Amino acid sequence: MKLAPIWYSLLRRELLLAARRGADVVALLFFFMIAVSLFPLGIGADPALLRLIAPGVLWVAALLSTMLSLNRLFAGDYADGTLEQLLLSPQPLVLTVAIKTLAHWLVSGLPLVLLAPLLAVQFDLAGREIGVLTLSLLLGTPVLSLIGTIGAALTLGVRGAGVLVAVLVLPLYIPVLIFGAGAVVASAAGLSPQAGLSLLGALLALGVVFGPYAAALALRISLE
């Protein structure tokens, strides 16, 4: 069986499973919208203050929203025995993990990237800052999914895995948060956001190369 059909079949399967759990996606987006929208209501309508806190608020809300679905990344396949079959199948486990990570980002990360510019209007951000914010999320949210996949694999089958995966991945999310929000802050201050965006791009490249291998190894350890 050729690699391309395998890739397509796995991705199609993951997206179909995500569509059947549509309520989870709606809950994720609803959490993101509520978390972001509560800040303007809570601190008032001072445009200067809203512009100041906007990068951090939007990035923290996106980070927390992405974490909501990590616990279910491998749980379904683990519960019904599919994961063991995938381990025994001829296709590389790294490919399966990479496809699961891509599907997680398409369902949990990409909608946040598309929704963020609309929510950023509440904070009186200028068009340039909104563009930088969108680009930073486009580079950063896949990194969150890649790191989260490793955490989900390490905590597979562990009691209280939802809390444990948060403890494991949150420290690793901090650089992504700093570089992503920092790029928007730099743009708002009239500086170039290139440094923060370049660092996010470097993290994404490292994550794409090493993340699936680390997650596949973690899965094998968890299933032994």
3-state secondary structure 132-150: HHHHHHHHHHHHHHHHHHH
Mean pLDDT of the chain: 86
- Within 21-126, residue ranges assigned H as helices are 22-43, 47-67, 75-79, 82-88, 93-104, 110-120
Q: Count of residues for the chain? A: 224
Count of Cβ atoms closer than 10 Å to residue 129 Cβ: 22
Q: What average pLDDT does range 184-191 have in this prediction?
A: 92
Is the model's pLDDT at 4 over the cut of 70? Answer: no
| pLDDT at residue number 147 | 94
Taking the model in full, what pTM does it have? 0.90
Return the half-sphere exposure (C-beta side, CA atoms, 13 A cut-off) of residue 114.
Answer: 8
Give me the pLDDT at residue 13, please.
78
pLDDT recorded at residue 140: 95
Pick the residue with more confidence: 138 or 152?
Answer: 138
Domain that holds residue 76: 3-223
Number of structural domains the chain divides into: 1
Residue 30 reports pLDDT greater than 50: yes
The b/e string for 150-166 (b: 16+ C-beta within 10 A; e otherwise) is: bbbbbbbeeeebeeebb
Q: Average pLDDT in the 131-157 region?
A: 92
> Residue 1, class by beta-carbon neighbours within 10 Å (0-12 exposed, 13-18 middle, 19+ buried)?
exposed
Q: Is the pLDDT of residue 14 over 60?
A: yes
pLDDT beyond 90 at 39 = no
Instruction: Please compute, for residue 6, the number of CA atoms within 13 A of its CA located in the half-sphere on the CB side.
Output: 14
Query: For the residues 103-107, what does the mean pLDDT come to?
Result: 90
